[in-house]
Amino acid sequence: MVTIERVSISANPQLRFDSANAKLERLIDYLEKLWGKRVNVYSLSLPAGYSCPFADECLSKSDRETGKITDGPNNQFRCFMASTEAYSKDLRTKLWENYTALRNCKSVDEMVALIEASFPVDADIIRAGVDGDYYNQMYFDAWLQVMRNHPDVMFYGYTKSLPYWVARLDNMPPNFNLTASRGGKADHLINEYSLKSSTVVLHPRQAAKLGLEIDHDETHALFGDVSFALLIHGTQPAGSESSKALSTLKREGISYSYSKSSNRKTKASS
């Protein structure tokens, strides 16, 4: 069995990387067979909402001090990481420290140096942002350079900051698999530039109707080149359609959480 280890970085790092999220841990067996080695997976995150300039349908923010969540005016499903932040002052502190350090950089080169200073040397896979997004072109470009600096590391992620991606379509590193997250302010760019995308659905039947497979374990995000669906998850506002959808999934016995015990490869069903 592959062990995904906790991040171990020198004292007083300027940025703080995290270990893999639960969803990716469900891919352990496959990675072990594919690579025949122990795999180390990390991520670097920022505060949800505050660092997401193109978020719309999922826009949610957890107050830096109190954790109280504020949903955006067009919110249809609450960002699962905003909900996670709400329950953890330590997490909010870490994310804001990352965000502040990056925003203090004055150039791409400064950002690259900052990221590299805390880069986990044993990384095999890095998700650039479980929480938060590429908040400006400079931050996006800095990550592209970091990826070029580490050609043997696989990078992946989701983004609604599509203008920054489109601006660099001809200069994307081959070790970066990026997915456009639908439900943002720049969704028109997905069809215009044929970007691989993910769509949040409320039930497997919705995914089947759209002709999309549901990615339960990051297989599509990491290795795929076609669009896919994500089943609604996380804590949703009481009384909302997304909250009712979670109740339906639970009542029907459909796995929707990203826990280690969930089924690994459930296909969209009719």
Instruction: Report which secondary-structure segment, H or E, holds 73.
Output: none
- Whether residue 6 lies inside any domain: the answer is no
Structure tokens at 125: 């896979």
pLDDT value for 11: 38
The domain tally of the chain equals 1
pLDDT tens digits, residue range 50-64? 999 999 988 889 999
- Whether residue 258 lies inside any domain: the answer is no
Least confident of 11-15, 99-103, 225-229: 11-15
- When the pLDDT of each residue in the chain is averaged and rounded to a whole number, the result is 83
> What phi and psi, each to the nearest 5 degrees, are found at residue 228?
-150, 175
> Which residues form the domain of 176?
18-251
- Whether residue 57 lies inside any domain: the answer is yes
- Whether residue 260 lies inside any domain: the answer is no
Instruction: Report which secondary-structure segment, H or E, holds 97.
Output: helix 89-103
- Whether residue 265 lies inside any domain: the answer is no
Q: Which of 14-18, 87-91, 224-228, 241-245 has the highest mean pLDDT?
A: 224-228
- Whether residue 11 lies inside any domain: the answer is no
Least confident of 69-73, 146-150, 186-190, 201-205: 201-205
Nearest to 96, CA basis, from 16, 21, 42, 9? 16
Q: What percent of the chain has pLDDT over 70?
A: 79
**Residue 117 contacts residue 63 (beta carbons within 8 Å):** no
Summarize the confidence of residues 160-170 as an average pLDDT.
Answer: 97
**Residue 86 contacts residue 251 (beta carbons within 8 Å):** no
pLDDT tens digits, residue range 20-49? 666 677 677 778 777 788 888 899 999 999
pLDDT tens digits, residue range 176-221? 999 999 999 999 999 999 999 999 888 888 889 999 998 988 889 9
Summarize the confidence of residues 99-112 as an average pLDDT.
Answer: 96
pTM: 0.84
- Whether residue 12 lies inside any domain: the answer is no
Alpha helices by DSSP H, listed for 22-103, are: 22-25, 28-35, 80-86, 89-103
- Whether residue 10 lies inside any domain: the answer is no
Query: Does residue 96 surpass a pLDDT of 80?
Result: yes
Looking only at the bridges linking them, the beta strands covering 69-71 and 176-181 are unpaired
Q: What percent of the chain has pLDDT over 90?
A: 53
How far apart CA 206 and CA 25 sit, in angstroms, is: 26
